[in-house]
């Protein structure tokens, strides 16, 4: 985890450092994907691409590690949650291959920018659905009456904190963007309604959530019926 996170942040920060100062990069006005635009970030886009490829691939063994512990709560839903998160991890890799470059044709009238938006949207949905399933499983696990009287396999409350963060930033993103759309705010949205701001918060919540679950769940797999 330390090695994979170190590689990701090193590549990511290099990409950010290479972004032209004249374009005034800010999390309030620029999405994360702007760093992968080879027309605006000609020196740093490759580092961004490599960082996302490494990040997406590094998630997979961590999710498998978590999966072996989550399926003890409920096998079928544990498998569904894990498959959603692993699919989201491949989505992160695909984001690297479809940079946010509008106007550059990929296929017929499909630009790289359009493909990037589609892949990013699907990836967010996959991660959101996966963490929602996991969150419900840990909630059910914490209250034996909801789980046919089975004992709490993971009484360590630290594991559950991350789902509160996911709920806050997930709902925050949804609510602010709905309001922004209703009020017809111009892109990227003013202040707290800034889409790039919430994208940054939600994206790193996904990153932290996977690492936090892998870190807080016990190394020893508990016995199960």
For residue range 60-84, what is the model confidence (pLDDT) as tens digits?
999 999 999 999 988 999 999 999 9
Mean pLDDT of the chain: 89
> At which residue do the structure tokens 């996991």 appear?
134
The two structure tokens encoding residue 165: 């963060």
Better-scored residue on pLDDT, 35 or 223:
35
- Are the CB atoms for 115 and 154 separated by under 8 Å? no
* Band of pLDDT at residue 117, cut at 50, 70 and 90: confident
How confident is the model at residue 114, as a pLDDT? 82
Q: Which 3-state string (H, E, C) describes the chain?
A: CHHHHHHHHHHHHHHHHHCCHHHCCCCCCCCHHHHHCCCCCCCCHHHHHHHHHHHHHHHHHHHHHHHHHHCCCCHHHHHHHHHHHHHHHHHHHHHHHCCCCCCCEEECCEEHHHHHHHHHHHHHHHHHHHHHHHHHHHHHHHCHHHHCCCCCCCCCCHHHHHHHHHHHHHHHHHHHHHHHHHCCCCCCCCHHHCHHHHHHHHHHHHHHHHHHHHHHCCCCCCCCC
The pLDDT of residue 38 is above 70: yes
pTM of the model: 0.90
What are the pLDDT digits (tens) for 156-187? Answer: 768 888 888 899 999 999 999 999 999 999 98
Terminal Cα-to-Cα distance of the chain (whole angstroms): 30
The pLDDT of residue 100 is above 90: no
The percent of residues in the chain predicted with pLDDT above 70, rounded, is 94
The pLDDT of residue 150 is above 80: no
How confident is the model at residue 109, as a pLDDT? 57
How far is the CA of 203 from the CAs of 120, 142, 144, 194, 222, in angstroms? 11, 27, 32, 14, 31
């Amino acid at each position: 985890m330390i090695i994979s996170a170190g590689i990701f942040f090193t590549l990511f920060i290099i990409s950010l450092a290479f972004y032209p100062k004249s374009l005034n990069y800010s999390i309030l006005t620029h999405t994360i994907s702007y760093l992968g635009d080879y027309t605006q970030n000609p020196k740093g886009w490759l580092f961004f691409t490599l960082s996302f490829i490494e990040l997406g691939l590094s998630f997979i063994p961590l999710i498998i590690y978590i999966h072996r512990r989550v399926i003890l709560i409920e096998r079928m839903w544990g498998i569904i949650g894990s498959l959603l998160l692993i699919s989201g991890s491949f989505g992160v890799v695909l984001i690297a291959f479809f940079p946010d470059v509008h106007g550059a044709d990929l296929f017929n009238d499909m630009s790289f920018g359009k493909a990037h938006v589609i892949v990013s949207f699907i990836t967010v949905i996959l991660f959101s659905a996966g963490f929602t399933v996991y969150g419900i499983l840990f909630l059910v696990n914490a209250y034996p009456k909801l789980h046919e009287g089975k004992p709490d396999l993971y009484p360590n409350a630290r594991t559950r904190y991350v789902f509160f963060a996911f709920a806050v930033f997930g709902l925050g993103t949804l609510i602010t963007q709905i309001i922004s759309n209703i009020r017809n705010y111009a892109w990227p949205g003013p202040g707290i309604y800034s889409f790039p701001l919430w994208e940054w918060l939600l994206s790193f919540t996904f990153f932290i959530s996977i690492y936090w679950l892998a870190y807080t769940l016990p190394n020893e797999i508990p016995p199960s019926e």
